[in-house]
Homo-oligomer: A and B are copies of this chain.
Amino acid sequence: MYSTFMKTYVSVDCVVFGFNKNQLYVLLVERNTLHPEKKELKLPGSLIYQSEDADEAASRVLYELTGIRKMTLKQFKSFTSPRRTADKDDLKWLEYAYHNKIDRLITIAYLSLGKITHRLNLVAKYKTAEWCPIDQLPKMPFDHNQIVEESLTEIRNWVENDPIILFELLPTKFTATELRLLYQAIYNRKYDPRNFHKKLMQMDYILPLDEYQVNVSHRAARYYKFDRVAYNKHKAGI
């Protein structure tokens, strides 16, 4: 009876999105392995501690990487297949990384968002941390490729009922074009600049600034900023 129930380790894995130019990026780390010649990138993650819930564990992982205490994050799905730890190398790495024999491991996947310009901490357990274009992801261990794939549909849902998250992907001051390219990257479609600008104007939580680009060899674009107070009012339906 005992053995038929699953007693297992539980981890969190974070899909941190970034944005630059017209491309979405995902933050990947390089795991330390027994085979240092191979470059093995994966999603940042961790086993959950006894005292934590999953949100706290994901926050901790992100804090270690970015130095930011409370990054915006969202749990989006658990991955629980018994086959997800079928790969022998993955199992070995788990033992190596956590000094424990780990038979079965489920993971709770999180979405988060970062500015691609933000300095990344080098965490002891990783060799590197880097932003990887979403369409050039390497083959990753466990089911991390599948996790990223599913995160893409999830980020759209998230944007739709909380467009605030977009501004975590952009610099504090951004141009209309930057915001439009971000929408295009997330929804994988084009938006007409004129119609897009109209929508932008309707968003009363986006404020035009009296600042413009400098040193660009074309007409300088206006900067806008996001107004959190106005956004909260907007959300509350005021």
The chain A residues found within 8 Å of chain B, CB to CB, are 1-10, 47-55, 75, 77-78, 80-82, 98-100, 104, 106, 108, 157
Nearest first, the 10 A-B pairs at minimum CB distance are A54-B80, A5-B47, A6-B48, A53-B80, A53-B81, A78-B78, A78-B108, A4-B49, A6-B50, A7-B9
Q: Contacts A78-B54, A82-B51: A100 and B10 contacting too (C-beta < 8 A)?
A: no
Task: Name the contact of A47 in the complex, choosing from B6, B10, B47, B108 (C-beta under 8 A).
Answer: B6
Minimal Cβ-Cβ distance residue in B for A109? B78
The answer for the CA separation of A53 and B85 in the assembled complex, in Å, is 12
Residues in B with CB closer than 8 Å to A1 are 99-100
Contact B80 A4 (CB under 8 A): no
The answer for the CA separation of A80 and B99 in the assembled complex, in Å, is 23
Task: Name the contact of A10 in the complex, choosing from B10, B52, B157 (C-beta under 8 A).
Answer: B10
What's the number of copies of this chain in the assembled complex?
2
Closest beta carbon of chain B to A68's beta carbon, Å: 22
Contact A100 B2 (CB under 8 A): yes
Q: List 17 A-B contacts (CB under 8 A).
A: A2-B99, A3-B50, A5-B9, A5-B50, A5-B100, A6-B9, A6-B10, A8-B9, A8-B10, A10-B80, A10-B106, A51-B82, A52-B82, A53-B80, A54-B80, A80-B108, A157-B157
Contact A53 B77 (CB under 8 A): no
Minimal Cβ-Cβ distance residue in B for A84? B53
Residues in B with CB closer than 8 Å to A157 are 157
**Residue among A9, A51, A80, A81 facing the most chain B CB atoms (10 A cut-off):** A80
Minimal Cβ-Cβ distance residue in B for A10? B6
Residues in B with CB closer than 8 Å to A50 are 3-6, 82, 104
The answer for the CA separation of A7 and B5 in the assembled complex, in Å, is 13
Apart from the given pairs A2-B99, A2-B100, 4 other A-B contacts in the complex at a CB distance below 8 Å: A1-B99, A7-B8, A10-B106, A80-B108
The answer for the CA separation of A81 and B50 in the assembled complex, in Å, is 10
The answer for the CA separation of A235 and B77 in the assembled complex, in Å, is 23
Residues in B with CB closer than 8 Å to A77 are 75
The answer for the CA separation of A50 and B82 in the assembled complex, in Å, is 8
